[in-house]
Each structure stands twice: as structure tokens, then as C-alpha cells.
Structure 1
Amino acid sequence: MGDPKYSRRTLFAALGAVIATATGVATYVSSASEATERQIATADRVNSTPAAKPTVRFERVYSAARHREVTLAFYLPTGVSSRGLPMSILLHGLHGDARHAAGGGLAEVLTAAVAKGSVPAFGFVAVDGGDHYWHENVPGDDPMAMLLDEIPGWLKERGYGQPFAVTGVSMGGFGALLYTRRRAERGDPIAAAAAISPGLITTWPEMAKRKAFKNEGEWASLDPLRHLKSTGPTALGVWIGDRDRFIEGTRQFMHAVRPEVGVVKDGGHDDGLYRKVMPDVVQFLAKYAKRAV
């Protein structure tokens, strides 16, 4: 049985109270349309361990924004043309890299959904971003500039479509929201952003442990929780486990922003939770994927 879905009006009229089922699942979904809710609900029927294997490609490229070589990774559904293929940028978490960005069986879930015809074809592109929450913490090493200014060219050179979305896990979820903000500030908003277990930390002492920001002021200037209306018209999807260490900040974000899809599931900050939500993530992103021709 799929997780229960509630409209914004119902949920937020109740002062943002979390409505939990007997299985410990709480879900927030926009009341934009019943069709949207049905489309997200079908995610539970996608097999997360399909027979078809995704196409995965790795390259080494030089990033002028980061002043180093980085790995560029492509996670693609098998059996479809890559020409003009819509792409979501995929941001890894702390101590992660492009080669391991597609956790929770994400690429396999995408391949299965495309093969059965439940979603249009699209792909993911990941790149090494370091451990500084996707911003220029070290002078001359600017992963956000790499995402904004270099990835579009790398995709074009290889015949892919331009990024229509961004997806991120943990630190990458923080980065996905920051990237969404930067695109909106440029007057070129992306269609959708998916944040899974986003690293939305609520206190400076806790964030300072990560050594990702020079000081509290710099963190405050970039923290999605301090810039709740900065993502523009982009459709947002947020997923997290009820035992995740980032649950407090993520709940604050969901209550304040009212994303199109916001889900709290039974689980922690681990691959088990990611495997539960990746079918939803794929279905959510697929609504906004349009092939470039």
C-alpha cells in the first residue's frame, strides 16, 4: 500500500502538525492536482531491484572552477538515446564523490521505470564536489561555479540535454537547495529540485564541526533555512527519515516552504531509507523532464 497523501490545506491548517500512520510514515503533498498525487503514489509500485542494469559512464575532466581534475559520472537508463536526454545534476554527500553519488539504487530504479514506460527517459550527471557544502570555502575551489558554469558545457559537448533538475543527498541536499537558489537568482530557474535527507543543521556549533564554512556569518548567508523563499518557481521535493539526525531542520523547512512533495518516512540517515524513497524521487523528477530536440 502506498503512503498516505495530504493536501497543503489540510496539513498546514493544522499548524503544520505531523500526521503519522501506524507505520510511522508522515507525508506532505501539494494539493496542486489529484493527478500529481496519483503520479507520485505510483512510485511504490516501481521495483527497486530490476533485471535491467543502468548505463554508467565515468570520465575525468579538468574543472577550471575547482582548479583540478574531477570525475564526471553519468547514470543513464539503458536502451535510450542520449542525444538531448534531459539531465538532473546529482550531488553527493559529505566524504562522497561522483562515482558513488547514486545511492539507494537510484540508477536501477530509473532504468526500471523507463523500461516499463512509467516515466519518460532522463539521466543523472554527478561530479566530484569536495566536502565544503558545494560552495567556495577554500579560495580557488568553487564547486558551485562548476555546477553553474561548467556542467552545461560538458553536457552540450557530449550531446546531452541541459540540466532540468537537481538532486542531492545529505550535504548534497543542502547543495541542491543552494544550486536552486543560484539558478533563480540568475533568472534561469530549474524545473525541479529533489533533496533527500538534506543536511539542514540548525545550530552553528554543530555545523562548525564540518569545517565547511569560514564563520557563522558565511553559513547564515548560504543556509537554506535562512533563505526560505529564495528557490523561486522551482518545484521542490523533500524526503527524510523520522530518525534522521537532520529531521529537525528538514521539518522546519517543509513547514515553512510547503514543497510540492514532502515526505517523512520511518527510517534513518542511511541507504535503507534512500531505497525506500528513490522510487518517489524518480517519479517526481520525471514530471519535469522534457527532451531537448
Structure 2
Amino acid sequence: MSFRTFESAHIGGGIHHATVKSAALHRRADISFYVPSGVTSEKLPLVILLHGVYGSHWAWLYKGRAHEVLDRLIQEENLPPMMLAMPSDGLWGDGSGYAPHSDADYAAWIVNEVPEAAAEIDPRCKDAPRFISGLSMGGYGALRLGLLHPKKFVAISAHSSITHVTQMQGFVEESLAEFDLTGTDPLAVIDCAKLTARLPHLRFDCGSEDVLIEHNRTLHRDLQAAGIPHVYEEFFGGHTWDYWHEHLADTLRFFKACLSL
């Protein structure tokens, strides 16, 4: 895949911003990247981080300080260097849900085009292990897309996740009818998990004070009932950036562990 246009800037400290012409979205879209310093390996694992409603490509970088978490774990816990790709969701309404709409395929943007854009920034991630994570709507995107494309991702880890697109109605202005979703893939995370026996390694967590806690507990129980291996954790906290900044470390530790499996 090649982009008709690709504009990028390295603003220092390993941070890159890019704007690309997306064939899946039929318009330009933005991605932030972070490449840690001192990488000597030939392959650089790629972590795609998906933001929630109202946000964009800058959210994980500047509100979640994801690069600071990554650097700390590299220095203090011998985490292997990983590249972070933090795309916008395509900027439809208050949030696209990372799903195919009739006018743009927000799923293909994430699954197919974002990794290609990352390889333009650093070719070492092209054939390296790939992971996906996200928060809230981005947690839904990470879970759903990771489960629907099990050969694309080694592991999935999500935070404070919506577990069915209908739960978007508690957050966004647009009605579900306005989403005009297309395709035949399931919209419930649990139904996506039942499609194939060989799934990526799977974990998710939620804060005990989070508005989405019961949805996450239900998903955990449903996965248990279906015999689908996964890790589910609850921590104290709400639907906040403090929570996501803190527990991104759990995601990165999980991804490290999956590299050796």
C-alpha cells in the first residue's frame, strides 16, 4: 500500500506527526508516533493506541503521556523498545466507533493503513509483532478489531471499554442510525471473540468507579462462559486520564509477556 500524499514532521524527542491521504476514509487523516531513543534491534514492535470519543491523534500523547510510560518501563523494567502509533479515529461526529460506515471504512483505516504509515516513519516496524490497545471507544475498537483480525495482532489490551457500539449512545450526540454502519461483522465484542478459535492474547481492565464497569464485568463473564482465555482486571478509579495513564503500564507489561510466548 502507498499513500497518495504523506506529510510528516519529527518535532524532536522521538515524536512524529503525520497527515496522510487515506484511501479507506477518502480524506486526509492524522497520526502521532513515538519512537524511543537508542533502539538497536532490527525489528521494532508496533503498539497502536486508540483514543476515545471527542479526542484525536494527540490525546494519548499529550493527555495520556503514553511515551513517558513507555520510556519509564524501558528504563526501569527492561521493557523491549516499542513504537507507538496513535491515530485519529477518522473524526466522524463525536466518534466513529472505529467501524465501517457507508461513507468511510474507519476499521480499515486502523487495521491496514495505520501500520503502513508507521512503516513510513520507521521501517523496522514493518514485519515486527503488532499490538492494539485503546480506551473507552478506543477500547472497543481495540477489542473488536483485534478479535476480527487475529492474524494481524499478537495481543490486545483495552481499558474502560465500550463492549457494544450501542453503548456509544451514552457519550455521543449522533444517533446510532446516523452512524449508517455497513458490513456483516458482529458489533458486540463477545460475538467477535466467538468467530475463531485462534485469537490474539487478550486482556482488559476497568476502574471500579467507571460508568462502564458493569459492561466490562459482563464481557468477562461471557468470555468465561464461552471458554475464551483472557485476563480481566479491576482497579480503583474512574473514566479518567489519570486511570489510563497509570494502567497503560499494565498493557505494555502484558505485551512484553506476549512477545516471549
Displacement after TM superposition at 1:59 (Å)? 1.3
> CA offsets, 1:147-206, max 9 Å, x none?
22222322333313145110111100000011112213xxx2411001011122596694
- Superposed, which structure 2 residues align to 1:219-230 within 5 Å? 221-230=186-195
Residue 280 of structure 1, CA deviation = 1.3
- Cα RMSD for the two superposed structures: 3.0
1:167/1:54 CA distance change after superposition, 3 Å: farther
Kindly indicate whether structure 1 or structure 2 has the higher relative contact order, using CA contacts under 8 Å at least 6 residues apart. 1
Q: Which residue of 1 aligns with 2:67?
A: 107
1:146 corresponds to: 109
Corresponding position: 1:175 with 2:138? no
Question: Which whole-Å CA distance do the structure 2 matches of 1:147 and 1:252 have between them?
Answer: 26
Q: 243, 266, 271: which one pairs with 2:236?
A: 266
Alignment match, 1:133:
97
AA partner of residue 247 (structure 2): V
Q: Which residue identity is paired with 2:189?
A: P
Say whether the 8 Å CA contact 1:56–1:75 is kept in structure 2: yes
Residue in 1 that maps onto 2:22: 63
The SS at the match of 1:155 is: helix
Cα offsets for 1:56-104 (capped at 9, x unmatched): 2111111111111111211232322586311011111111111112443
CA positional deviation for 1:289: 4.2
Match of 1:46 in 2: none
Residue 238 of structure 1 aligns with which residue? 204
Counterpart contact for 1:238–1:261, Cα < 8 Å: yes
Q: Secondary structure at the match of 1:276?
A: helix
Higher gyration radius (CA): 1
2:4 is aligned to: none
Q: Summarize the Cα distance change of 1:133–1:257 in structure 2 as closer, same or farther, 3 Å threshold.
A: same
Compute the displacement of 1:279 (Å): 1.9
Report 1:85-124 matches (<5 A): 85-102=44-61, 103-124=63-84
CA distance in 1 between counterparts of 2:192 and 2:79 reads 32
Gaps of 5+ in 2: 1-11
CA drift of 1:265 comes to 0.8
Equivalent residue of 1:214, what SS? helix
Specify whether residues 146 and 247 from structure 1 end up closer, same or farther in structure 2 by C-alpha distance, changes over 3 A only: same
Runs of 4+ in 1 over 6 A off after TM superposition: 202-205
The corresponding residue for 2:216 is: 250
Structure 1 unaligned segments of length 5 or more: list them: 1-52
Are the equivalent residues in 2 in contact too, given 1:183–1:190 (CA < 8 A)?
yes
Equivalent-residue separation in structure 2 for 1:76 and 1:147 (angstroms) = 19
Residue 286 (str. 1) matches residue 250 (str. 2): no
Query: Structure 1 residues 81 and 200 mapped into 2: Cα distance closer, same or farther (>3 Å)?
Result: same
Query: Taking every aligned residue pair, what percent have the same amino acid on both sides?
Result: 25
Name 1:197's counterpart in structure 2: 160
Cα offsets for 1:211-250 (capped at 9, x unmatched): 3643899699312144442474211111110111111111
The whole-number CA distance in structure 2 between the counterparts of 1:246 and 1:147 is: 24
Indicate conservation of the 8 Å contact 2:46/2:84, yes or no. yes
Paired amino acid for 2:76 = K
Which residue number in structure 2 is paired with residue 10 of structure 1? Answer: none
TM-score normalised according to structure 2 size: 0.78
Distance 1:81-1:269 versus aligned 2 partners, 3 A rule: same
1:27 corresponds to: none
CA distance in 2, matches of 1:164, 1:237: 15
1:125 to partner: Cα distance: 0.5
